[in-house]
């Protein structure tokens, strides 16, 4: 059951006569995508997969965030040895659920949307951001790579742009994100833009046909990402996290000091 209210770090409610589910990250200003946040999101998306008795069938889900920033990214502490396997499993499970979700997922982005935050929203369908929003995958700066983004960015945007973001770790603003197709539009109020798209284009559609249409549009992509992500998860755990530099980069970030790379 999709209950209105706050579930840990997530606010949940319905609007638009019950046809739109609202999910709002509610731990400003960072809205870190940690184990608690991932679990809350996964539970909300799981509940929304099936029609709820006594409620109109959902035509859309809108994900946004409280505070000046969408999300600073995943918890760096949960990437350390001994914790990283559980973190990857839960994050990857959430992303795969979103990728195959039978209800269109819209996202409104303000401020920073980095790392694990961008990985989560990259699994959604339509993204809107403010022109001055900052989107990026800075993991390589910390000595690691982002498995989800390595799968999803080449699916959403041209490979040359995906590799730029993945290998440089740089952030881009909302205008550049719109230009390369990472977001649908850069607008002053992304929540209003997402709601306008919902009202104009899907609110009156058959929910049953929307579900089938999403499956038709994404079926091959979901299976492709699922297979690639499983392989990258093994590389991350069995190869990356056995290197000196991965552990050094994460530790240096937490200790607020420059990393000392050994190139091994």
What is the mean pLDDT for each group of 10 consecutive residues in the chain (264 residues)?
71 97 96 97 96 90 98 94 94 98 98 98 98 98 98 98 98 98 98 98 95 94 97 97 96 96 97
Residue 223 within a domain: no
3-state secondary structure of 261: coil
Does residue 239 belong to any structural domain of this protein?
no
Kindly state whether residue 185 falls inside one of the protein's structural domains: yes
Domain count for the chain, please give it: 1
Evaluate whether residue 256 is within a structural domain: no
Preceding omega of 69 cis (within 30 degrees of 0): no
Q: How far from 191 is each of 6, 63, 109, CA to CA, in Å? A: 19, 9, 8
In a domain, 226, yes or no: no
Residue 23 exposed, middle or buried by CB count within 10 Å (0-12, 13-18, 19+): buried
Sequence-distant (≥ 6) Cβ neighbours of residue 239 within 8 angstroms: none
- What pLDDT, on a 0 to 100 scale, did the predictor assign at position 253? 95
pTM greater than 0.85: yes
Q: Is residue 238 part of a domain?
A: no
Domain contains 214: no
- C-alpha span between 227 and 175 (Å, rounded): 32
We report the CATH number of the domain holding residue 82 as 3.90.226.10
Domain of residue 136: give its range: 5-189
């Amino acid at each position: 059951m999709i209950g209105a209210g706050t579930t840990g770090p997530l606010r949940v409610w319905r609007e638009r006569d019950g046809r739109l589910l609202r999910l709002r990250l509610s731990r400003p200003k960072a809205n870190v995508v940690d184990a608690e946040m991932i679990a809350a999101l996964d539970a909300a998306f799981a509940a929304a997969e099936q029609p709820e008795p006594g409620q109109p069938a959902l035509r859309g889900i809108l994900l946004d965030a409280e505070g000046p920033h969408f999300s600073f990214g995943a918890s760096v502490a949960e990437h350390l040895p001994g914790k990283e396997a559980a973190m990857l499993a839960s994050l990857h499970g959430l992303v795969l659920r979103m990728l195959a979700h039978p209800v269109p997922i819209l996202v409104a982005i303000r401020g920073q949307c980095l790392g694990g935050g961008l990985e989560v929203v990259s699994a959604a369908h339509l993204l809107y951001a403010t022109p001055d929003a900052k989107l990026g995958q800075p993991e390589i700066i910390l000595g690691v790579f982002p498995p989800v983004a390595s799968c999803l960015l080449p699916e959403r945007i041209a490979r040359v742009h995906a590799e730029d973001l993945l290998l440089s770790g740089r952030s881009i603003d909302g205008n550049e994100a719109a230009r390369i197709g990472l977001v649908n539009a850069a607008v002053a109020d992304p929540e209003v833009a997402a709601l306008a798209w919902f009202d104009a284009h899907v609110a009156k559609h058959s929910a049953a046909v929307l579900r089938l249409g999403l499956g038709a549009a994404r079926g091959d992509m979901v299976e492709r990402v699922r297979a690639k992500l499983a392989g990258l998860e093994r590389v991350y755990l069995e190869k990356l996290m056995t290197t000196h530099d991965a552990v050094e980069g994460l530790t240096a970030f937490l200790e607020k000091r420059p990393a000392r790379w050994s190139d091994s």
